[in-house]
Chains A and B, each alone.
Chain A
């Protein structure tokens, strides 16, 4: 029997269609059939009650590390897929820094196969920009594209020099591949572990200056002008870099950007006391940066929010602050941290949902991120008012590295659907 599903009475928000109404949604064959009125002859055989909830396209996360293959001591595709759907994320864009690196079609295919076998989420592996991410030789981008990669990136790994960067941008452009750049000049970073500012000065932490980000952005922007490459700047941390991107967009450059949602809530003061949970890359910067980035998200200069999910084994955070590994396991806090921005008046709920759905989907040219009739029914149903405590009983990621441990968060995913199948259900109300 084909599943014919009705999601009843939720606030359906689909920014891609400019849609925001309390209404019903009808799904069959894994595809959205209609919003509002049931199609002719549609008799649902399952009904989900969504009163008081928001019905949104499944979230698209532009940066989530699942650690497989090769780093299974940190996390696995299975574990992090479960975390993703508990967080309402149905499409995950995976950086290429696995072991082996995503620089051959075989690894891409392996990841697609694993996602398909798991049946919980969609994975979009980003191909390596350079072979082995070593920053020296171009990767086989044509083959990576044929295998299904929509973008290439060197992730956190440096590119040897500006000539290699120029050629890799040119080569990606000639294959119409998006290049995702996490802008950070490795020489200026110089092994730093905190924002170069008052807090690092007092705590004696080696600083990462603004210039590490702004120089890298400026360099790439100059090369875009030369090469015409399409570039997405990932995890912007500073107001200065954001403003460079803003000016480039105004000049018509094909550039987009995202920010990790925790960068809109945390700043350098959090490092006080040397808690390694706040050791991040890029580093937490100042309150002024945080405020400017919030405005940039509201205005759409930074189109997308991401989790920048980086799960770690406990040992990775058990050392003196500078010796720990940077990163937050963020998939399950993506929604509550985004909703907090809405409550704090940074942006409207539809814009917030857009930053998690339509905007990131457009960056990669994915068909996901909308509830338009005919699209695959990847759907997140969440209760924006529901509170939950982040602890062992609620947390699913294998990475316990979150600074929010033990805290009460607001906004809970009630159900997640992938292609019309309920893959996550928090005892969600069902009507016959």
Chain B
């Protein structure tokens, strides 16, 4: 038996129906998302920060896991497209009453909405929802378990493109808790598709998934080696709950081994850019001097998140005939 190809994301016409993962998309399509984001970037700089592309559409932010940054940037993006936005925080409502995921979806669907932006603690949740929603509804994955966070990856490569222009001679190091990171998985997929020369993952063995090399990355367990000559460093957040498990012995030892300091950054290329999907733990994975330093683009990432999310939402809505972008 062979595995089935996942054709959930793009309709027969090649247009985006759902945005669940960057896996399976091609380079031209990722470029299109970024070009579309470019066209929206100016909107956010105007005094009236709105375009009427999604007027009359209702977008539901369906968050089964807490988030500040991702939810607010999705909300802003939707509002700048003139959509109506409903924030539903399920963590504190339905599922604790025993309602199934499918029932939750059915109920909100019955309110005649047009798009779900979903965050969920389980890998594959966005796929499951996309497979079960009414045909007119688009699903945007805002993070599912350890699997994917495609808009984060897109805003990261968008930020890289802004600074570096091209991906071909690029060496990128992703540092930290790769095992639990949906951001890392989506970034690896996006950078691969865009043709980055070398993608490194750096961290202790306990935080690197088995067989990660099969994704086309090289593994380093030593930060200095992993940073040598890289053009981009992406630091990942070390979640506090990982420190109590048997993944690392202590915050102190982690910082000593894998914390990004100015000294360590010397190993990288002179024009290295430092990224972090946030929220950052100062003094755990990154030193404040680096986070706030001139090579850091962390706050640009946040701004770019709005443009990228506007792009993805308008493209996904386009298959419904909402106008969208050409």
Q: Which A residues have a C-beta under 8 Å from some C-beta of B? A: 196-198, 200-207, 209, 265-266, 269-276, 315, 318-323, 403
Name B100's contact: one of A209, A274, A319 (CB within 8 Å).
A319
B224-260 CB contacts (< 8 Å) to partner A: none
Name B210's contact: one of A196, A269, A319, A320 (CB within 8 Å).
A196
Given contacts A270-B3, A320-B122, contact A202 B23 (CB under 8 A): yes
Q: Which residues does chain A contribute within 8 Å of B123, judged by CB atoms?
A: 203-206, 274, 320-322
Closest chain A residue to B184, Cβ basis: A204
State the 3 A-B residue pairs at the shortest beta-carbon distance, nearest first: A204-B146, A274-B124, A204-B147
Mark each residue of chain B from 16 to 46: 1 if its CB lies under 8 Å from any CB of chain A, else 0: 0000000100000000000000000000000
B77-134 CB contacts (< 8 Å) to partner A: 100-102, 120, 122-125, 127-128, 132
User: How far is it, in angstroms, between the C-alpha of A202 and the C-alpha of B144 when the chains are bound?
Assistant: 13
User: How far is it, in angstroms, between the C-alpha of A207 and the C-alpha of B206 when the chains are bound?
Assistant: 13
Q: Which residues does chain A contribute within 8 Å of B5, judged by CB atoms?
A: 272-273
* CB-defined A-B contacts under 8 Å, sample of 13: A196-B211, A201-B209, A202-B214, A204-B123, A204-B145, A207-B209, A209-B210, A270-B3, A272-B3, A272-B6, A319-B122, A321-B123, A322-B123
Name A202's contact: one of B3, B127, B185 (CB within 8 Å).
B185
A320 touches B120 (CB 8 A): yes
B33 smallest CB distance to A (angstroms): 21
Q: Which residues does chain A contribute within 8 Å of B148, judged by CB atoms?
A: 204
Name A323's contact: one of B6, B23, B122, B212 (CB within 8 Å).
B122
| Most chain B beta carbons < 10 A, residue from A196, A273, A318 | A273
Q: Which residues does chain A contribute within 8 Å of B3, judged by CB atoms?
A: 269-273
B220 smallest CB distance to A (angstroms): 16
User: How far is it, in angstroms, between the C-alpha of A319 and the C-alpha of B214 when the chains are bound?
Assistant: 28
Q: Which residues does chain B contribute within 8 Å of A198, judged by CB atoms?
A: 211, 214-215
Closest chain A residue to B6, Cβ basis: A273
User: How far is it, in angstroms, between the C-alpha of A420 and the C-alpha of B214 when the chains are bound?
Assistant: 56
B326 within 8 A of A: no
B146 touches A320 (CB 8 A): no
Q: Which residues does chain B contribute within 8 Å of A321, judged by CB atoms?
A: 122-124, 127-128
User: How far is it, in angstroms, between the C-alpha of A269 and the C-alpha of B5 when the chains are bound?
Assistant: 11
Chain B interface main SS type: loop
B118 smallest CB distance to A (angstroms): 10
A327 smallest CB distance to B (angstroms): 17
User: How far is it, in angstroms, between the C-alpha of A274 and the C-alpha of B211 when the chains are bound?
Assistant: 19
A205 touches B146 (CB 8 A): yes
Q: Which residues does chain B contribute within 8 Å of A271, judged by CB atoms?
A: 3
Given contacts A270-B1, A273-B3, contact A204 B185 (CB under 8 A): yes
User: How far is it, in angstroms, between the C-alpha of A198 and the C-alpha of B145 when the chains are bound?
Assistant: 17
User: How far is it, in angstroms, between the C-alpha of A349 and the C-alpha of B144 when the chains are bound?
Assistant: 46
A320 touches B1 (CB 8 A): no
Q: Which residues does chain A contribute within 8 Å of B211, judged by CB atoms?
A: 196-198, 200-201
B2 within 8 A of A: yes
Additional 4 contacts, C-beta under 8 A, given A273-B6, A315-B100: A204-B147, A204-B185, A318-B132, A321-B127
Closest chain B residue to A197, Cβ basis: B211
| Most chain B beta carbons < 10 A, residue from A204, A209, A322 | A204
Closest chain A residue to B129, Cβ basis: A320
Q: Which residues does chain B contribute within 8 Å of A403, judged by CB atoms?
A: 1
| Most chain B beta carbons < 10 A, residue from A207, A273, A274, A275 | A274
A263 smallest CB distance to B (angstroms): 12
Q: Which residues does chain B contribute within 8 Å of A269, judged by CB atoms?
A: 2-3
Name B102's contact: one of A201, A205, A275, A319 (CB within 8 Å).
A319
Q: Which residues does chain A contribute within 8 Å of B23, judged by CB atoms?
A: 202
B291 smallest CB distance to A (angstroms): 26
User: How far is it, in angstroms, between the C-alpha of A313 and the C-alpha of B186 when the chains are bound?
Assistant: 34
User: How far is it, in angstroms, between the C-alpha of A269 and the C-alpha of B209 when the chains are bound?
Assistant: 17
Closest chain B residue to A279, Cβ basis: B124
User: How far is it, in angstroms, between the C-alpha of A206 and the C-alpha of B122 when the chains are bound?
Assistant: 10
Given contacts A205-B123, A319-B102, A321-B128, contact A197 B210 (CB under 8 A): yes
Q: Which residues does chain A contribute within 8 Å of B209, judged by CB atoms?
A: 196, 200-201, 207
Given contacts A201-B211, A322-B124, contact A272 B145 (CB under 8 A): no
Q: Which residues does chain B contribute within 8 Å of A202, judged by CB atoms?
A: 23, 185, 214-215
Given contacts A200-B209, A204-B182, contact A273 B127 (CB under 8 A): yes
User: How far is it, in angstroms, between the C-alpha of A204 and the C-alpha of B21 when the chains are bound?
Assistant: 12
User: How far is it, in angstroms, between the C-alpha of A274 and the C-alpha of B146 when the chains are bound?
Assistant: 13
B210 touches A207 (CB 8 A): yes
B147 touches A203 (CB 8 A): yes
Q: Which residues does chain A contribute within 8 Å of B215, judged by CB atoms?
A: 198, 201-202
Name B146's contact: one of A206, A319, A323 (CB within 8 Å).
A206
B214 touches A318 (CB 8 A): no
Name B122's contact: one of A207, A315, A322 (CB within 8 Å).
A322
Q: Which residues does chain A contribute within 8 Å of B51, judged by CB atoms?
A: none
User: How far is it, in angstroms, between the C-alpha of A265 and the C-alpha of B23 when the chains are bound?
Assistant: 26
B182 smallest CB distance to A (angstroms): 6
Q: Which residues does chain A contribute within 8 Å of B100, judged by CB atoms?
A: 315, 318-319
User: How far is it, in angstroms, between the C-alpha of A207 and the C-alpha of B208 when the chains are bound?
Assistant: 12
User: How far is it, in angstroms, between the C-alpha of A202 and the C-alpha of B102 when the chains are bound?
Assistant: 25
Closest chain A residue to B214, Cβ basis: A198
A231 smallest CB distance to B (angstroms): 29
B210 touches A265 (CB 8 A): no
B4 touches A320 (CB 8 A): no
Q: Which residues does chain A contribute within 8 Å of B144, judged by CB atoms?
A: 204, 320
B8 within 8 A of A: yes
